Structure formats: C-alpha cells, structure tokens
Amino acid sequence: MIKAVLFDFSSTLIDSPAWMALEIRTLPRDAFELLVADGHIAPLGAEELGQAESIFHQARELANATERETSHADNLSSMVAALGLQDQVSQVLVEQTVATLHRRCLPKVTLVTGAAETLTALQAHDYRISIISNAAYSPFLTWTLERFELLHLFEKIVVSADVGVRKPGLDIFRMTLDQLELEPADVVYVGDDFQKDVAAPKQLGMRAIWFRPDGAAPPPEGQAAADAAVSELVQIPDRVDRWSNSRS
C-alpha cells in the first residue's frame, strides 16, 4: 500500500526562472550589487567580480560532481573572504543579503498548473506529502508554499542546503525515508528530472512518476523506466490510488 507521495519542487510544483537563475548563476553579481547599493562596500572591478563568479561556479560544479551541497550563505561567505571584504560584510550581513535576494524572487513564482488541486486531492486520500529538493537556500521553499497557502499540506520539506547532500545521490532520499519512518515500497516520488527524480528513487525501491509537461526526452538506454509518466499533475492521485489498491 502506498502511504506517502514525495515531490520535487522546482519545475514540478512551482516555476520561477528568476529563482533558478539566482540558484545557479546570478548570486555573485546580484549579491555584490545589493551590497554596493546599500552602501556596505565600494563597487567591484571587473576582475574582482570575475573572481567572485569563478568561486561560485566552481562551488556549484563541485556540488553537482560530488552530490554534496553548499548553501548560498556559504557560497557568498567564500566570495567575501576571497575578496578581503570580511570587515565590511559580516556573516549576519551575508545572511541578510541572501534572504533579500530570495525574497525578491517570490512575486515572480508561479504554481505549476494543477499543483494545488493535486496536493489537496492526495491529502484528502490520506497520503502523507513531503518534498525533497536540491536548493541552496531552504527558506525560499517555505516562503513560497506559505504564499500559496500550501505549506500546511507538507509533513517534511527536505532541502539539500540543510542536509548537505543532493539528488541524484541516494543519501538525501534515505534521510527522508528515515525521518518519515517509511519503507521505499510505501512511497511514490514525483519529479521532472529523469536522473534525479526517477532513476535515483527507483534504485532504492520507490515507485517513480516522471512529470513530463513538455514531452521530455526519453530516458537513456539501460535506465529503468519510470513506473508512470504524466503530462499533468492532476493525473497523479488516480495513478497513486490504483497502486495503493493493487497487491502488486
């Protein structure tokens, strides 16, 4: 019997190009522009900004390669230290800057079509609902779900920045199952990225639903197929009900 449905966050439940850009690309420029605008530091030269961007992109590449996560606060602290700006930019200011940049993204977030209806239906059918997300700043997920009045539906929100590991590594899935006291066979995982959201959870024995709203490319040869693929989130509750009511 299926007891829980776990979701990816970005591009599965919400869409936010501005947030994704901040996550993977624009943090250095955005952060130092804000620090300059607020009078904390002098404007950076092109070489200094390039150094900061290099540090950030190397950190993101290392996180992807090792499946070990670092937070945006850690990333910005490293850039500040490398540029010798610790006297002007305290750790408290680092945290405030990261928070401000993420709050600026909130008005531009949209729910994926059918997300609210799907989550409400799953809760009505007594499934436990949680999130596992690769993200470098976890409060953004909470703020977003609060904005759309969906936070109360989630039992756990497990974010890579908080636990130090990221998908497609299996540790973040194992941690979540342990916290929820669930076996893999009790769980369905839903996400849009085949490697992170289908191949990885299936290695642990979970069922996986591949969310393919735009007809994503087929999985690589030799990879285990998703247990189901859907083009709309509202198709998920019926699929989960059928599995839950089946003996197979």
Predicted confidence (pLDDT) per residue in 124-175, tens digit: 999 999 999 999 999 999 999 999 999 999 999 999 999 999 999 999 999 9
Per the structure, the count of domains in the chain is 2
Instruction: State both tokens at 46.
Output: 């092109």
Domain identity same for 36 and 12: no
Q: Three-class SS of residue 217?
A: coil
Nearest to 5 by CA among 219, 221, 206, 218: 206
Helices (H), 197-247: 200-203, 236-244
Domain identity same for 80 and 134: no
Q: Give the rounded percent of residues in the chain with a pLDDT score beyond 90.
A: 93
Q: Rounded CA gap, 13 and 27, in Å?
A: 23
Among 78, 107, 136, which residue terminates a domain?
Answer: 107
Residue 30 pLDDT more than 80?
yes
Judge whether 204 and 225 are in contact, CB under 8 Å. no
Among 58, 79, 107, which residue terminates a domain?
Answer: 107
Nearest to 206 by CA among 187, 225, 233: 187
Which run of H or of E encompasses 102?
A: helix 91-105
Q: pLDDT (tens digit, 9 = 90+) per residue, 184-205?
A: 999 999 999 999 999 999 999 9
User: Looking at this protein, which amino acid is placed at residue 105?
Assistant: C
Any idea how long the chain is?
248
Residue 68 DSSP code: B
Among 107, 141, 171, which residue terminates a domain?
Answer: 107
Q: Give the rounded percent of residues in the chain with a pLDDT score beyond 70.
A: 96
Residue 157 DSSP code: E
Domain identity same for 123 and 213: yes
User: What is the band of 110 on the pLDDT scale with cuts at 50, 70, 90?
Assistant: very high
Domain identity same for 114 and 229: yes
Residue 215 pLDDT more than 80?
no
- C-alpha count within 13 angstroms, C-beta hemisphere, residue 243: 21
What range defines the domain where residue 51 resides?
17-107
Domain identity same for 101 and 203: no
Domain identity same for 117 and 222: yes
Q: Rounded CA gap, 38 and 60, in Å?
A: 27
Give the model's pLDDT for residue 214.
Answer: 78
Domain identity same for 57 and 82: yes
pTM over 0.75: yes
Domain identity same for 82 and 125: no
Domain identity same for 98 and 70: yes
What do you get for the CA distance between the two ends of the chain, in Å?
9
Domain identity same for 75 and 117: no
Judge whether 191 and 173 are in contact, CB under 8 Å. no
User: Looking at this protein, which amino acid is placed at residue 74?
Assistant: D
Domain identity same for 83 and 151: no
Domain harbouring 161, CATH code: 3.40.50.1000
Domain identity same for 118 and 224: yes
Average pLDDT in the 61-67 region? 97
Residue 247 pLDDT more than 60?
no
Give the model's pLDDT for residue 223.
Answer: 66
Q: Rounded CA gap, 20 and 10, in Å?
A: 8
